[in-house]
Amino acid sequence: MVEKRLSTKTQVILTLIFILVMALLLWWADKGFDSYKQRVLRLIGIYAIMAVSLNLINGITGIFSLGHAGFILVGAYTAAILTLTPAEKEMSYLFGIQPWIKNLHADFFTATLAGGAVAAFSAFLIGWPVLRLSGDYLAIASLGFAEIVRIWANNALTVTNGPLGLKAIPEYSTTWWIYGWLLFTVVFIASLVYSSYGRALKAIREDRIAAEAMGINVFKHQLMSFVVGAFFAGVSGSLYAHWLTTIDPRITTMGPMLTFYILIMIVLGGLGSITGSLIGAAVFAILFEWLRDLEQPFSFFGIQVPGIPGMRILVISALFIAVMIFWQRGIMGREELTWNNLYKWFFGRKKEGERS
């Protein structure tokens, strides 16, 4: 019995062609789009990194973590502190600054890596006690972690500049940086997920007792997944900071709201599907920007609707409820959009009930 599939060589060539086409499209978009559309395009890339990394933790490993914004915040602050020059920092820190923080300076790439590394390290520290919990308890504990980090950032005046936040961060996040990092994230996580380690993580998601009985060190693997996910969250945080150019520890910038946005993306795309996360991030980012018009006064079938701030969140929530009712496992479910699956859908349709 042979499954209908493409050879590895064909798949690799198709993937390379796909990446090339995407790069060309991005190049075209980068040149042709106005600055608003460019910013949305970049936001899609950043959201995609956040979604793919949270998907590794929540969708693949089945750890219900709500602490993603915490890692993003850690990465964002680390990177922003590194890319601001000592003179700029002296200007914006009104309450004084720790001298060692003032003198830290690095280029954007190093800063992003450092952001990822610090986020990964904090995931290691927090994962050690928290991953002994499971289910709802873990969700609450990780949410607690994210809040602690945010409130710490709000109060550690000489390190993070407190509620004033960091301003005038250079806008280093170009389309190329963001999509380069996105490519690296997807390749890294897909490579991990479609290896023996990924199978072990999925096994833990399915049944942790059976996974442990099959010789998998459940705690170590969960911690590994948590740390890898947090690393890319930190990276996305750095990109986000250099996209926003201003970061502060308010709930709406990098607080629980951001975690829930990412959660919506991955559930919309399909928990456990990397391509689903990418689609979910794109759909969410585009909808979120497009629905901005709803917050202006508009007329709906002749009815005048005044501008209501927060209207788009209402509409997105309603849409989300509809998706969850009719499409419970999200757009992709746990399937991936691979060349093989495309090939199967177009050419290799099996008859219903037939076993290959």
Partner 1 sequence: MSEDRVKQLEEKVAELEVEVNKPILILDHVTMQFGGLIAVNDFHNKVIKGELLGLIGPNGAGKTTVFNVITGIYYPTKGRIIFDDIDITPFRPYQITHLGIARTFQNIRLFYDLTVLDNVLVAQHHELSNPDADRILIRNGKPPKNTKRFWFWRAVTKLGYISKEREMVERAKDLIERVGLSHVMYEKASALPYGEQRKLEIARALATKPKLLLLDEPAAGMNPKESEDLMEFIRKVRDDFNVTILLIEHDMKVVMGVCERIIVMDYGKIIAEGTPEEIQNNPRVIEAYLGKEWENV
- Residue numbers of the site for partner 1 (CB under 8 A)? 1, 3, 188, 191-192, 195-197, 199-200, 202-203, 205-207, 209-218, 220-221, 224, 334, 355-356
CA-based nearest residue to 49, from 272, 235, 263: 235
Nearer CB in complex with partner 1: 189/316: 189
Least Å distance, CB 327 to partner 1, is 18
Nearer CB in complex with partner 1: 209/325: 209
Residue 307 near residue 69 (C-beta atoms within 8 A): no
Nearer CB in complex with partner 1: 61/83: 61
Nearer CB in complex with partner 1: 195/296: 195
Do the strands 303-305 and 298-300 form a parallel or antiparallel pair, or are they unpaired? antiparallel
Least Å distance, CB 103 to partner 1, is 33
Residue 206 near residue 19 (C-beta atoms within 8 A): no
Residue 79 near residue 237 (C-beta atoms within 8 A): yes
Whole-number Å distance between alpha carbons of 292 and 274: 27
Nearer CB in complex with partner 1: 93/226: 226
Least Å distance, CB 279 to partner 1, is 20
109, 187, 224, 233, 235 from 184: Cα distances, Å: 13, 5, 18, 13, 11
Residue 116 near residue 232 (C-beta atoms within 8 A): yes
Residue 173 near residue 46 (C-beta atoms within 8 A): yes
Nearer CB in complex with partner 1: 218/254: 218
Least Å distance, CB 120 to partner 1, is 14
Residues in a beta bridge with 166: 247
Rg of the chain on CA atoms, in Å: 21
Least Å distance, CB 65 to partner 1, is 20
Q: Is residue 323 classed as helix, strand or coil in its secondary structure?
A: helix
Nearer CB in complex with partner 1: 217/296: 217
With a CB cutoff of 8 Å and minimum separation 6, the contacts of 250 are 163, 165
Q: What is the DSSP letter of 296?
A: S
Least Å distance, CB 74 to partner 1, is 23
Q: Is residue 261 classed as helix, strand or coil in its secondary structure?
A: helix
List the structure tokens of 218. Answer: 């459940």
Least Å distance, CB 36 to partner 1, is 37
Nearer CB in complex with partner 1: 49/218: 218
With a CB cutoff of 8 Å and minimum separation 6, the contacts of 55 are 189, 266, 269, 271, 272, 273, 274, 276, 277
Least Å distance, CB 217 to partner 1, is 5
One-letter amino acid at 205 equals R
One-letter amino acid at 144 equals G
Least Å distance, CB 207 to partner 1, is 5
Nearer CB in complex with partner 1: 107/207: 207
